[in-house]
Structure 1
Amino acid sequence: MERAIQIKAISSEPRLKVLRLLTEPQKHFRHQQSADPVEFGVCMTLIAEALGVAQPTASRHLDILKQAGFITAQKHLKWSYCKRDEAAINDFLKWLGNEIAPF
């Protein structure tokens, strides 16, 4: 994974908010009816609502998070659902910790 894309992904408050919200999807998106938010992911429409932005704006943020490897997305019928990729996030955090650790 290209680290510059990952750094770009976390350089935005809306994208950080998405990652925080997806940490506890059952808590933040329990009203999702179409699929279990923990097992299947959270509908992009609900993420846009949580951010208070239009769907195209949310899609751009989510696309950057996908490029960074921090989330995965899957389609079901006409909707797309997003989940955190904990392994990729942990890998990035480990790398970042090593990069900024004192010598």
Structure 2
Amino acid sequence: MRILRLLAETEQHFAEQWSADPVKFGVCMSLIAEALGVAQPTASRHLDILKRAGFISVQKHQKWSYCKRDEVVIQDYLAWLKQELSIEV
């Protein structure tokens, strides 16, 4: 959840990224690990879970991998979750 929140506000949390525009291209995995205060392998495991769930996309550029939220998938999931949790009267 924390990763998704950080990626929702890339300009606020990752403005120092110089290698690519964090809003348009995504955020470097190493900067995400740094923001979380965890080792890069730990962050990579969590990012892989989010990627497999479809909540983020990952693209490689040179030697770095960049992560970006997939807003359509997240909104579809939230709509599904709301429907599943609704109580029928």
| Shorter-normalised TM range | over 0.9
Corresponding residue pairs, total: 88
Q: CA deviation at 1:68?
A: 0.4
Counterpart of 1:58 in structure 2 is: 43
Counterpart of 1:6 in structure 2 is: none
CA RMSD of aligned residues (A): 0.4
Counterpart of 1:77 in structure 2 is: 62
Amino acid at match of 1:39: K
Counterpart of 1:39 in structure 2 is: 24
CA distance in 2, matches of 1:63, 1:98: 27
TM-score, reference length from structure 1: 0.85
Q: CA deviation at 1:75?
A: 0.2
Q: Identity of paired residues, percent?
A: 69
Structure 1 residue runs of 5 or longer lacking an equivalent are: 1-15
User: Structure 1 residue runs of 4+, over 2 Å off?
Assistant: none
CA distance in 2, matches of 1:23, 1:32: 15
TM-score, reference length from structure 2: 0.98
CA distance in 2, matches of 1:92, 1:86: 10
Amino acid at match of 2:60: K
Structure 2 residue runs of 5 or longer lacking an equivalent are: none
Q: CA deviation at 1:24?
A: 1.0
